Amino acid sequence: MAMKRVAASALRAFTSSGNSTSSLLTRHLHASPGSKKIVGVFYDAKEYAAKNPNFLGCTENALAIRQWLESQGHQYIVTSDKEGPYCELEKHIPDLHVLITTPFHPAYVTAERIKKAKNLQLLLTAGIGSDHVDLKAAADAGLTVAEVTGSNVVSVAEDELMRILILVRNFVPGHHQVITGDWNVAGIAYRAYDLEGKTVGTVGAGRIGRLLLQRLKPFNCNLLYHDRLKMDPELENQIGAKFEEDLDKMLPKCDIIVINMPLTEKTRGMFNKDRIAKLKKGVLIVNNARAAIMDTQAVVDGCSSGQIGGYSGDVWNPQPAPKDHPWRYMPNQAMTPHISGTTIDAQIRYAAGVKDMLDRYFKGEDFPPQHYIVKDGELASQYR
């Protein structure tokens, strides 16, 4: 049973630490099999909530699991208020059992919050990417962290392809001309190119990176990828991508760089001033992964100097981005709010995945192995 394994993990942590008053031991061995308090943190849809019955990822529709949960005697609290000591989420931290949040409006689960959450057992990400959780603190506390792996990989890969084309064709300034009543073809054409024949490199070639490469193949690009794992030779040949073991040798070859890696302590700030300076002048960068992989000011400076010819993505640090975030105002950017992985199709998939995992949790059953980010005190390999 999953609960027994969690308790055993907590017991091992207790005995190895030598701490005779471990809160971990109390937390897990005294977990009740009865009614649970579940808190969901999502973005507000307001007037848009009723416009589509499948718009599930907002506070108003709350993954469409309220009736199901409450019919089983569980308490379901939903909010978008997640920041600061007096926010709605903070009120429920001490006695919640399960926290559901999304990468699009993340509840930042710090070590301090984990320490306060005496009843917390399970952290679920409705989507992909659990770096809003202090994963080490979660592992040390014996918590389970899981996400709906695969739920929005198609959505993100399609969005990345769109952003590549938007940057290559210099689309945003042209669209802006239409809105403002201007007409200046030269102001767009002088830096608009074809995608065909360009070298595109993805930093990370997991589920999303591979889908992107497959979608780029018909454009007759030169495709490169860097990853900790090399693809199966048959798949690599089918896609037509070349493996680059040395990241710093791959990057200067690229006309377009796409970031497709998780945020970890190793990748945080990876694209700093020095690394950006070594890229091909005028390089285009797409980042739907995590903003903190980039040095914020280095990206601004690169776009301002022309070292970066264009930057597009939908991830910010923090999220939601404050009004004075410098990426909002830097030149040659095509930024959006965090939307790539929250299409309606993706919402249907990650809502179903969350419901399935909650059902398994109530029954004491394991999740599908690929969904675990932290299990029995161990982090998934991509976060190590």
Tell me the C-alpha distance between 320 and 113, whole Å: 20
360 and 323 in a common domain: no
| Mean pLDDT score, 106-111 | 96
- Give me the pLDDT at residue 28, please: 45
**Angstrom distance (rounded) from CA 327 to CA 336:** 10
Structure tokens at 228: 């900790």
Q: Please say if 319 is a catalytic residue.
A: yes
Asked whether residue 10 carries a pLDDT value surpassing 80, the answer given is no
Average pLDDT of every residue of the chain? 92
Torsion sign (Cα): 122, 127, 133, 136: positive
Q: Does the active-site annotation cover 290? A: yes
Selecting among 61, 319, 332, 333, the annotated active-site residue is 319
What does 269-331 look like in DSSP terms, one character per residue?
Answer: T-B-HHHHHTSPTTEEEEE-S-GGGB-HHHHHHHHHHTSEEEEEES--SSSSPPTT-GGGTSS
Does 184 carry a binding-site annotation?
no
Q: Which of 61, 121, 152, 347 is catalytic?
A: 152
Query: For helices 153-168 and 171-180, what crossing angle results, to 10°?
Result: 70
pLDDT at 284: 98
pLDDT tens profile 133-171: 999 999 999 999 999 999 999 999 999 999 999 999 999
Give the range of the structural domain holding residue 55, as residue numbers without chain letter. Answer: 37-149+343-383
Residue 113 appears among annotated catalytic residues? no
Confidence of residue 32 (pLDDT cuts 50, 70, 90): low
DSSP 8-state symbol, 45: -
Q: Does a structural domain hold residue 240? A: yes
Q: What is the mean pLDDT of residues 295-322?
A: 97
Whether pLDDT at 15 is above 60: no
Is residue 57 located within the same domain as residue 159? Answer: no
In a domain, 66, yes or no: yes
Would you call the peptide bond into 320 cis, given omega within 30 degrees of 0 as the criterion? yes
134 assigned binding-site residue: no
Taking 80 as the threshold, does the pLDDT of residue 226 lie above it? yes
Does a cis peptide bond (omega within 30 degrees of 0) precede residue 85?
no
pLDDT digit string (tens) for 46-101? 999 999 999 999 999 999 999 999 999 999 999 999 999 999 999 999 999 999 99
| Together in a domain, 156 and 143 | no
Domain co-membership, 53 together with 169: no
The model's confidence at residue 12, banded by pLDDT at 50, 70 and 90, is very low
Please state, in angstroms and rounded to a whole number, the distance separating the CA atoms of residues 102 and 70.
21
What CATH number does the domain containing 137 carry? Answer: 3.40.50.720
**pLDDT the model gives residue 21:** 35
Is 261 contained in some domain?
yes
Instruction: Please name the residue ranges forming H helices in 124-197.
Output: 135-140, 153-168, 171-180, 186-189
Q: What is the pTM of this model?
A: 0.87
> Is 264 annotated for ligand binding?
yes
Looking at the fold, whether 290 and 321 belong to one and the same domain comes out as yes
Q: Is 272 annotated as a binding residue?
A: no
Looking at the structure, do residues 112 and 188 belong to the same domain, yes or no?
Answer: no
Inter-residue contact 215 to 241 (CB < 8 Å) = no
Shared-domain flag, residues 144 and 164? no
Percent of the chain with pLDDT over 90: 89
Mean per-residue pLDDT for 191-220? 97
Phi, then psi, of 111 in degrees rounded to 5 = -60, -35
Asked whether residue 262 is marked as a ligand-binding residue, the answer is: yes
Counting Cβ atoms within 10 Å, is residue 131 exposed (0-12), middle (13-18) or buried (19+)? buried
Count of domains forming the chain: 2
Q: Is residue 19 part of a domain?
A: no
Whether residues 247 and 274 fall in one domain: yes
Asked if 105 is an active-site residue, the reply is: no
Assess whether 210 and 176 both reside in one domain. yes
Residues 145 and 164 in one domain: no
